[in-house]
Structures are given as C-alpha cells and as structure tokens.
Structure 1
Amino acid sequence: MIVPAPAPCVVIAPDKFKGTLTAAAVATHLATGLRSVLPDVEVVMVPVADGGDGTLAAAEAAGFEQVTVPAHGPTGEDCKASYGARGSEAVVELAEVCGLDLLAERGLAPLAATSRGTGDLISAALDDGARRVVVGIGGSASTDGGLGLLQALGARVTGADGREVGPGGLGLEDAVALDLSGLHPGLAGAEVVVACDVDNPLTGSHGAAAVYGPQKGASPDDVERLDAALTRWADLVAATTGADHRDDPGAGAAGGVGFGLVAVAGATTRPGADLVFELTGFHDALVAATLVITGEGALDRQTLHGKAPAAVAAAAREAGVPVVAVAGKVLLTEGDLRAAGIGAAYALVEEGSEQEAFDAPGPLLERLGARIAREHLGGAR
C-alpha cells in the first residue's frame, strides 16, 4: 500500500509592503497563489514587523484586540488612536499616534513635535489592566527625549516659573524640575518592553538630534539646539532618579523616547523582530514548516540590518527550514541573500511593470505564489 506524502506546510511571514499592502494582505495573496497550484497545501500566515510601523497590525493578526482611545497627535492635536490588547498584554505602536508619516501633509515640526500620544496609549493600556506593555518606537516625528510621553504618564516637568514646560525638544530648554510622584501607579507592577533596533545614545554626534533630527526637518541650527536641550534633560533626569542612562544603547531611539522609557519608566529594550515573533507565535509555526516565505517592499542593504525578513530568515535557518523571499524590488546580490539565509528571491517587477507593482501588487503576488509552489514545492508546471 502506497501512503501518500503529507501535504507541505508553508509559513508565510512577510512584513508590510509599505505604501501598498499590509503584511496580512501580502500573506493572503501569496496563499492564494500557492493554493492555485497546490490546493491541499497547508498554509500558516504569520504577518510580522520589525517593531516599527506595522507592529500593531501584526499583533492584531495574531489575535490582539484593537482598542481605540483619545490621544494626542504629533503636534499635540486631539485625535483617536489604537493599541492592541490580549489578556494582560498590550502592544503600543508609536507610529500609530506620533509617527513622522502623520505630518506628511501638514509639514514637519522638528522642534515642537511631541511623543505625548504614545504616553496616552500606554496610560490607557495600564488603566485597562495591562501588566506587560510592548512599545514599538520606530518612525517618530519628535526629538523630545520622551518628555511628552512621560508627561502623559503623570510626570510633571516644570520651568523656572513653576509651570509645565511646552511640548517638543523646545520644551526641554526650559526644564528645571522633574516630579515623578504622580507617575502612573500601574508602571510599578507592569513590565514595559521597548522594541528597539538602533544603538544610538541620547546625545552627541551619534545621538538622537544629530543622526535623526534632519530626517524630521531639523536644520543644522535646530540640531545643535535640540542636542543641547537633550543634554539638559539628561542632566535633570539623572539628578532626579540617581542614574544616568543617556549613553545606553538605544537611548537615542525615536528622538529619545527610548531614553525616557528606560530612565524613568523602568523599561527594558529588545530587538523589534524578536518581540514581534513572540507576540505572533512565529517560532511555534516553524516546527512543522516545509518552507518559509518572507518579504517586504524592497529587499536592500537595510534589510540586512534588523529588518523583519532578515530576522525571519535567521530564525528559519536555525530551525532548518528553507526560506524564499518576495519583494517589490530585489536589490541584494545572490551572495547577500545566501548569507542572510534566503535561498531565492522573487520581485514583483519581474511579473509586471513598476507601476503595476505599486498600484496593483495583489495579482502579481499571486503569480509569485504560484511560481514558488511549482519551483520549491513540486507543484505541476
């Protein structure tokens, strides 16, 4: 008696294709393509992210409930924003409420942009009973050292006149006193974990203002002013808490939000993709996998430095599972791909024009899914 071979199990774990499709949508189109050639293929879809934009969507795809609350946007305006909740765990994405992309139409605000909205979301999650809060801090519009975030969590930062200082890095110039007595009580019993993939300190030539300020619209004069304000802030926090975290790796992440969370809120930092893998159960999905498909909008040099597809490939290689990748464009050499643990890479622009790849990537992804089924899983040609 001939026993039929078990159907292959494919784990589809892409990041978003920025500007076109969410990670979940990418996975769905690839699954459709696979099944068009292998109807019995077992597909496990695990959308992932690297801790920045897309982290909340990945968490929601893994079963976190979206909770929408009042918050403050990157220039202090009232808005609505969401965090993810599952049991006593919460996921907060800075880009959801304080992201640089939110200022695309209104214009950048390098001196006045605030991280306050991220603190609003953390506070709301703690109010709802969260005992573990994962904070993805990529894509920040502000360089305020976490000032706004901490104010939203109950810290009082005042100037020489005794009044609360204004928003943004500009507000730090006036800070002379820090009162933590009103800090949210939920922080004492909660674990706060920051998804962080950069190692910049808070201040200096490799700090938040110097390295990331220009991306947020800061002029050379603005950068100098912001760095001096962050130095003043670090001095004040150290004098208040008795510990100096300005040179910690990642203190300069997200305009100093990493510093504020670690130095005042007692947070720890972890690589972003590792945290997302925990939230989504990616490592569990690998156990039965025959093949892993990952990808993002462009596979380029940045992919190799902490981006989700590289982390997916590394984890799959450790588990002994082959990996292929899909992207709008593939700008890495075969040697680069092999070194990253990616056996083959497929580009949307191989299946259609650049315009199609941006305007209608879904059908192209389905074609690539069918190709992968034929070329890697023995599907009929």
Structure 2
Amino acid sequence: MPRVLIAPDKFKGSLSGAEVAAAIGRGLSRHGAARTVALPVADGGDGTVAAAVASGYLEVPVEATGPTGQPVATHYARRGDVAVVEMAAVSGLAQLPGGRLAPMTATSRGTGEILLAAVEDGCREIVLGIGGSATTDGGAGMVRALGAVFTDAHEQPLTDGGQALAGLHHLDVSAVRERMDGVCLVVACDVDNPLTGPHGAAAVYGPQKGADDLQVAELDAALGHYADLVAAQVGRDEREAPGAGAAGGVGFAGLALLGAQLRPGVDVVFDLIGFEEALEGADLVVIGEGSLDEQTLNGKAPAGVAAAAALRGVPVVAVCGRSTLSAGDLRRAGITATYALSDLEPDVERSMRDATALLEHLGEQVSEDLFASDNH
C-alpha cells in the first residue's frame, strides 16, 4: 500500500494545516488505497506553533500584552526544553483591536512576555517565528519585557512603540543578558532587510503597518537613534545585518541584544517537526495552501516541501483553494499535479465555508488518479 505524506500549510481564513491534512487524509483513505501520514507545515509565521503542536509539542497557554496594550490569551509550544513562540499570535496584525493599525505605538512587548514565560518554565532552546508583526519598535518592547531598562532624558521609563525611541536617552540590558544566559534563541526569518535606510524596517514594511511617508521617516530616524545607543551599550553595530529589519526590527534586537541566530523559516520548522524523517519511505507527498501563487515559490512552506521531496525523487501533488501558477511554474517547483477547490466550487465564500468537505473530495480524487491502477 503506498505511503502518502500529507504536509500542507494552513488555508488562511479557513482551516489550520492540521485540519487541511486531516480532510485530505480522509479522502485519500476512503477506499483503502493509501496509508497516510499527516504533518502540517509552516514557514515561521502564522501557523508555526500549530505545526509544532500537530507534530507532538504540548500547547502551553499564556496571557500576554497585545500590540496596543490589550491582554491577549495565546500560547506557545513546548517539547522537553524546546519552546516555539509565534510573534503573530501576540504582536501580530491580527491582534490589533478592530484591525486598527498603530504604526507609531504598536509594541512587541507581548512577544518578550512569552519568551520570558518559556525561559522561566525552564526552556533552554527557543524558536521564535516573527512573520506577521504589527510593530516597528526595533524589538524594544520584547527586550524590555525580558528585563531591559529604557529611560528618557528625565530618567522616566520610555513609553512603548517605535515613535518613543526618538526620546530614548539611556538603556541597560544587563538583566536581559543574565536572564538569557544559556538560552539558545533561533529566529525564523525570511527577509534580509537592514534595520534602517531605504531598505529598512520602516521604509519597506512601515506602510503595510499603516505608516505614511512622514511617519516612515520619523520611525526610521527613531530606529537609527536606538541603534546608536544599542551599539554603544554592546560594543558592536548590527543595524546593517541581513534580517535586522525583520518584524519591525525584532531581528535587530535578537541579534544585538539576545545573541540570536537568524535562520530561514521553512528550515527551522522542518527541523522542529522532523520533516526529513517523515519524508523517508514516502511514495507521494501532498502539499497544500489556500492560494498557490508566486509568493508560494518565494520561500513559503509548500515550495520547501516540494523541493525536499524532489531531492529524494518523491512525486508531489498540490491541493489548494486556487492556483495562479502556470504549468511551467508548477513543473519547475517539482509539482506534478494540482487540485483546486475552485474547480469544484467557484464561489469563494462557499468554497471557504465548505472547505473540509471539498478537501475530502479532492483527496479522494488524488487517490483515484494516482492509485487506481494499483488496485486493479
């Protein structure tokens, strides 16, 4: 009986990766044509903790500060002394009340609070996925939650947010260093932007977080001032390091103040969930994503799965909500066939609402197309 590895990402706004994998698996197994293994994947952003939990990590609930100060009930994942933290789940755009953007004041404090909870719980290796952030505060909120002291010219605690960094007069990170001593922090990061300048955190990502041109300039100057003080404190300047501008400067804080290692998100997640081991002995890999498009090919999890499978000569099919990729794009990505919900249900709202049943049907279709001859 063929062994099928089902390794989808989430269908954003519809189903988690685990729900997608389960639905496809039910369809594939309906006629007993295949033995399936479900292993949801992610790329270091939204869905990273869910992928870890689906692969056997425990979900640890925690309450932390959202990007505009409101409490957020969230969780991290843990196995042994390894923790997986997802910035999007606490400091992300999806956590903004009413979706109201706050480019100047949004804080990464909640991300630091979850890191602190994991450290205090005995975790010695922490993976931090930083995609989807709402912040441009240089990771200042994160490191302050870990014990750093930021004060203004009047020796008063600095307020949160990127704008406030313009008034930073003194910082003391000794407590952070002590707290993080012996902790290995790996940041899942897929961009190489510096902290400041025309390719920096404010210029490139600020507008997506609601900043206009004047605000972008103000944030960039504030981040530059902050970087000056950090360099004076730690004895090196990390503002130009590739990835320093990731997640509004969280990459910078990780490098300069937390001794973090920055790695591509897909690689980090694959290591976490044991993807290479799961790929051993597979006769087919099924990938999945809500929208299979140009972005998929640019470092997203499904493309990473397809590339890893191709190296081992394992065929790959894709199940998606819709696909805008050409036959040539798919072939170059190592994808031999695509099955889209839009082929069954063109109405997007109905397709999202009925995604589970439609995915089961597509799973059955994959089974019939690929394994029918094996059953006769």
| TM-score class, shorter | over 0.9
1:33 pairs with 2:27:
yes
Which amino acid counterpart does residue 15 of structure 1 have in structure 2? D
2:5 maps to 11
Please say if residues 108 and 142 of structure 2, whose CA atoms lie closer than 8 Å, have aligned partners that are also in contact.
Answer: yes
Alignment of 1:216-295 (within 5 A): 216-295=209-288
- Partner of residue 160 from structure 2, selected from 149, 156, 167: 167
Instruction: Confirm whether residue 300 of structure 1 aligns to residue 287 of structure 2.
Output: no
Counterparts of 1:360 and 1:154, CA distance in 2: 47
CA distance in 1, matches of 2:293, 2:72: 35
RMSD of equivalent CA atoms: 1.3
Counterpart secondary structure, 2:321: strand
- Partner of residue 377, structure 1: 371
Q: CA offsets, 1:63-94, max 9 Å, x none?
A: 11111123111112233321111100000000
Following superposition of structure 1 onto structure 2, how do residues 1-381 of structure 1 map, counting pairs within 5 Å? 7-37=1-31, 39=32, 41-103=34-96, 105-183=98-176, 185-353=178-346, 354-378=348-372
Q: Deviations over 1:78-129 (max 9, x none)?
A: 3332111110000000011001011161511100000000000001100011
TM-score, normalised to structure 2, is 0.97
Q: Distance in 1 between matches of 2:43 and 2:192?
A: 15
Give distance in 2, aligned partners of 1:34 and 1:80.
36
Could you tell me how far apart the structure 2 residues matched to 1:47 and 1:227 are? 37
Percent identity, aligned pairs only?
Answer: 54
CA distance in 1, matches of 2:161, 2:85: 20
2:33–2:371: 8 Å Cα contact kept in structure 1? no
SS of residue paired to 2:197:
coil
1:342 shift after superposition? 1.0
Distance in 2 (CA, whole Å) between partners of 1:296 and 1:304 is 12
**In the aligned structure 1, how far is the partner of 2:371 from the partner of 2:257?**
51
Q: SS of the residue aligned with 1:82?
A: strand
CA deviation string 1:39-66 (max 9, x = no partner): 1521110000000000010011011111
TM-score (norm 1): 0.96
User: For the residues of structure 2 that align with 1:125 and 1:307, how far apart are their CA atoms?
Assistant: 27
SS in 1 for 2:98: coil
Q: Contact conserved, 2:64 with 2:110, CA < 8 A, in 1?
A: yes
Q: Residue 269 of structure 1: CA displacement?
A: 0.7
Could you tell me which runs of 5 or more consecutive residues in structure 2 were left unpaired when the two chains were aligned: none
Does the Cα contact within 8 Å between 1:62 and 1:280 map onto a contact in 2?
yes
The count of corresponding residues between Structure 1 and Structure 2 is 374
Partner SS state of residue 176, structure 2: coil
CA distance in 2, matches of 1:288, 1:127: 40
Residues 114, 142 of structure 1: 8 Å contact kept: yes
